[in-house]
Chain A
Amino acid sequence: EAGVAQSPRYKIIEKRQSVAFWCNPISGHATLYWYQQILGQGPKLLIQFQNNGVVDDSQLPKDRFSAERLKGVDSTLKIQPAKLEDSAVYLCASSFIRSERSDTQYFGPGTRLTVL
Chain B
Amino acid sequence: GDSVTQMEGPVTLSEEAFLTINCTYTATGYPSLFWYVQYPGEGLQLLLKATKADDKGSNKGFEATYRKETTSFHLEKGSVQVSDSAVYFCALKYGNKLVFGAGTILRVKS
Interface range, A side? 20 to 34
A22 to chain B, nearest CB (A): 15
Which single residue of chain A is at the shortest CB-CB distance from B100? A42
Q: CB within 8 A of B97: which of A3, A40, A56?
A: A56
A107 at the interface (CB under 8 A from B): yes
Residues of A contacting B79 with CB < 8 Å? none
CB <8 Å contact, A45 and B102: no
Interface string of B81-102 (1 = CB under 8 A from A): 0000000010101011111111
Q: A56-B97, A102-B32 known; A107 and B91 CB under 8 Å?
A: no
Q: A40-B102, A41-B103 known; A99 and B96 CB under 8 Å?
A: yes
B49 at the interface (CB under 8 A from A): yes
Q: A42-B89, A42-B91, A42-B102 known; A56 and B45 CB under 8 Å?
A: no
B64 at the interface (CB under 8 A from A): no
Residues of B contacting A105 with CB < 8 Å? 46, 98
Residues of A contacting B27 with CB < 8 Å? none
Q: How many A-B residue contacts, CB cutoff 8 Å? A: 53
Q: Give the docked Cα–Cα distance between A3 and B44 (Å).
A: 12
Interface string of A15-39 (1 = CB under 8 A from B): 0000000000000000001000000
A103 at the interface (CB under 8 A from B): yes
CB <8 Å contact, B42 and A109: yes
CB <8 Å contact, A56 and B96: yes
- Contact sample, A vs B, 26 pairs, CB 8 Å cutoff: A40-B102, A40-B103, A41-B103, A42-B100, A42-B102, A42-B103, A44-B100, A45-B97, A45-B98, A48-B97, A56-B97, A91-B43, A93-B44, A99-B95, A99-B96, A101-B52, A101-B93, A102-B51, A103-B93, A104-B46, A105-B46, A107-B36, A107-B43, A107-B44, A109-B43, A110-B43
Residue positions of B touching A, CB distance < 8 A:
4, 32, 36, 42-46, 49, 51-52, 89, 91, 93, 95-103
